[in-house]
């Protein structure tokens, strides 16, 4: 059973290293171009697809080089989410 926990720990470490490598690559290429584009969309309604968000209507509240703050409009209520830029696959303007 300890090997299962060891594998999980290694997976977490691998994920952390992959995020660090992506961040270093972004910085080496002059920063995140995507974050600049998203900053221009602050206050606009859009549909975002990616990890944890699929086809929900959203309003972009704020963005920086790594994170985006969104209001996700759902049927019953709205919820605020903070999502990593790396987890966003596409943005469609409504």
Q: Tell me: the pLDDT tens digits for 57-82? A: 999 999 988 889 999 998 899 999 99
Q: Tell me: the pLDDT tens digits for 15-33? A: 888 888 877 776 666 556 7
Determine whether domain 33-94 maps to CATH 2.30.30.
yes
Q: Describe the strand order of the beta sheet including 67-73 as a list of residue ranges.
A: 78-84, 67-73, 53-63, 45-50, 88-93
- What percent of the chain shows pLDDT beyond 70? 84
User: Looking at per-residue confidence, does 5 or 14 come out higher?
Assistant: 14
What are the E-state strand segments in the chain? 45-50, 53-63, 67-73, 78-84, 88-93
Q: Residues 2-10: what's their mean pLDDT?
A: 63
On the question of pLDDT at 5 being above 60, the answer is: no
């Amino acid at each position: 059973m300890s090997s299962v926990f060891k594998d999980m720990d290694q997976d977490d470490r691998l994920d952390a290293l992959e995020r660090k490598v992506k961040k270093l690559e972004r910085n080496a290429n002059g920063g995140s171009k995507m974050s600049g584009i998203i900053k221009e969309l602050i206050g606009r309604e859009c549909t975002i697809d990616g990890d944890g968000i699929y086809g929900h209507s959203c309003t972009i509240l704020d963005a920086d080089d790594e994170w985006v703050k969104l209001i996700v409009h759902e049927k019953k209520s709205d919820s605020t989410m903070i999502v990593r830029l790396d987890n966003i696959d596409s943005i469609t303007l409504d």
